[in-house]
Structure 1
Amino acid sequence: MVELTDSVVVVTGAASGMGRSMALEFAGEGASVVVVDVDDDGIERVVAKIDDDGGEAIGVHGDVTDPDSVEGVVDRAVDEYGTVDVLINNAGILDDYAPVGETSLEQWNAVIGVNLDGVFMLTKAALPKLLEGDEEGVVINTASIAGKVAGGGGAAYTSSKHGVIGFTKQLSHDYGPEIRANAICPGAIETGMTEELIDAGEIEPMVAETPAGRHAQSEEVAAVALFLASDEASFVHGSAVDVDGGWLVD
């Protein structure tokens, strides 16, 4: 089983939002964190925060839609820390709730490229290291409630997140017990990516009807990721864990 202390954790989409919170959370537990994003300024801020808090991290510019960039992320992690113990595929983009008839092929390809193709490519690139040695590798994929039901996004986003959950299950099936793979399905989370939707009131009526009756903070999702990577979750394989305030309870 992976010990979080002294483990090597790669987090994509880590310059802001849930990814930033995950990077900080794991660094606070003693992990060496590889902070991956296309936002170089954001990467620097997160790495500086981890350094200031006494943690260990490096920043890597990584575009999950670019195969060469993906390979470079894994190479940099291995060059710096020797391996990859935990991979968190968190990078993602929205589609403005566009229905099928209003979704262009360009938008479809962009959303699928980041949200699903990127998960596949980085997982495949990191697979040899995740399988290496006697310890169990861990993969955590950020899906969404839109990966379980319609209405949590548009056509491209919903399709991509359904795909992430399917990929997670297949990964668990193919490589368990050497790799423990799970997905997280957030509901309404206050992040920079969802700020405009929240400000516009587009999801407020649905949130008000959930048992929690509020949005979540990104730190609450990071806490679930930390649990799924820990030995306490050693019997949790191939699951898609809702962090939605009860959004899907009915």
Structure 2
Amino acid sequence: MKRRLEGKVAIVTGGGSGIGEAISKKFAAEGASVVVCGLPSDPVRKVVDEIQASGGKAIGYLGDVSIEDSAEACVQLALDDFGKLDILINNAGVFPATAELDKYPVEAFEYMIKNNIYTAFMMSRAALPHLQKTKGNIVSAGSEAGQMGSPMITPYGGTKAWVMTFSRGLAVEQAKHGVRVNCVGPGPIDTAWTHKETGPMDSKMEKNTVNGVPLGRRGTPEEVANVYLFLASDEASYVTGATYFVDGGVTLSKSLSGEEVPAHLKQQPAGDLHLNHGKEGHAKIRKEATGTMTV
């Protein structure tokens, strides 16, 4: 049976850890040639090596794609090595702090504007001329927090609402060029962001985050990657301007309904991908990704 992305070329930003690692490996397993994009401190090289060891095609790009020159260089690498571009996955994002707004660090807010918003803008802008040639598509990372808002991470939800609205506008704008644009809205996923040991949540927030999921557990990065795969594939040829929530029902929940789920139903599915970098996500401010977005 033909693999769903056979012959396609994809860029995955934030592709070295967490959900991005899963997307990169899922796309490669489905036949895509993948540019795994990340910061120099991300395990991009490891993910590329792991894809290649499994028989997939992948190269790495290290750079800050919130900056115009770096975004254009990432797209050019895909063209130079693979000859075209069919899919852009705007997965790069950061989750550096939790606090009530009057105590929320201004530095963390600026950091999210740079790494959640500018990255999606710059990469989409650089990729569009080439996606128009291939009648390709963009899938960007929204969030259930961008749909509902979420206390203690109010600015984060605001950045994700921007991405989701940006994607809807871009979908209508680019339809005449044959380019589809969609979003995936993850809920609490089993990455660095949702564990107190590796992210900014304290124990109370971590517990409430999981118990607020009607399915009673965190999702896996692979479960999110499965939805990215559908939206990026030709199977979604009539889908544009949509946000698909992969949230275990969080956007519909009004209570800590996860507490009622029996233990045997809270078990995560085993999955098929070998994911080794799930807890290496961008959950704190890194010096390499600070600074201005334009030169």
Would you say same fold, with TM above 0.5? Answer: yes
Partner of 1:70: 71
Structure 2 counterparts to residues 47-62 of structure 1, below 5 A: 47-62=48-63
How much has 1:192 moved relative to structure 2?
A: 2.2
Q: Structure 2: 5+ residue runs without aligned partners? A: 254-295
Residue 234 of structure 1 aligns with an amino acid whose one-letter code is: S
Query: For residues 73 and 99 of structure 2, what CA distance do their matches in structure 1 show?
Result: 33
Partner of 2:284: none
Task: Please tell me whether the aligned partners of residues 97 and 108 of structure 2 are also in contact (alpha carbons under 8 angstroms).
Answer: no
Q: Structure 1: 5+ residue runs without aligned partners? A: none
CA RMSD of aligned residues (A): 1.7
Residue 181 of structure 2 aligns with an amino acid whose one-letter code is: A
How much has 1:119 moved relative to structure 2?
A: 0.2
Partner of 1:121: 122
2:164 partner SS: helix
- With over 3 angstroms needed to count, the CA separation of the structure-2 counterparts of 1:214 and 1:111, relative to structure 1, is same
Query: For residues 59 and 228 of structure 2, what CA distance do their matches in structure 1 show?
Result: 20
CA deviation profile, 1:109-161 (whole Å, cap 9, x unmatched): 110111011101110001110001xx421100011101101216623211100
Residue of structure 2 aligned with 1:244, choices 237, 242, 247: 247
Residue 38 of structure 2 aligns with an amino acid whose one-letter code is: D
CA deviation profile, 1:47-89 (whole Å, cap 9, x unmatched): 0110110000000102122221111101111111112100000
Task: Please tell me whether the aligned partners of residues 112 and 156 of structure 1 are also in contact (alpha carbons under 8 angstroms).
Answer: no
Structure 2 counterparts to residues 68-147 of structure 1, below 5 A: 68-132=69-133, 135-147=134-146
Identify, as 1 or 2, the structure richer in strand: 1
How much has 1:201 moved relative to structure 2?
A: 4.2
Query: For residues 98 and 82 of structure 1, what CA distance do their matches in structure 2 show?
Result: 45
Query: For residues 42 and 161 of structure 2, what CA distance do their matches in structure 1 show?
Result: 31
Provide the aligned length of Structure 1 versus Structure 2: 246
How much has 1:211 moved relative to structure 2?
A: 2.2
Partner of 1:150: 149
Query: For residues 195 and 206 of structure 1, what CA distance do their matches in structure 2 show?
Result: 10
TM-score by length of 1: 0.93
Name segments (4+ residues, structure 1) moved above 3 Å. Answer: none
TM-score by length of 2: 0.79
Residue 180 of structure 1 aligns with an amino acid whose one-letter code is: R
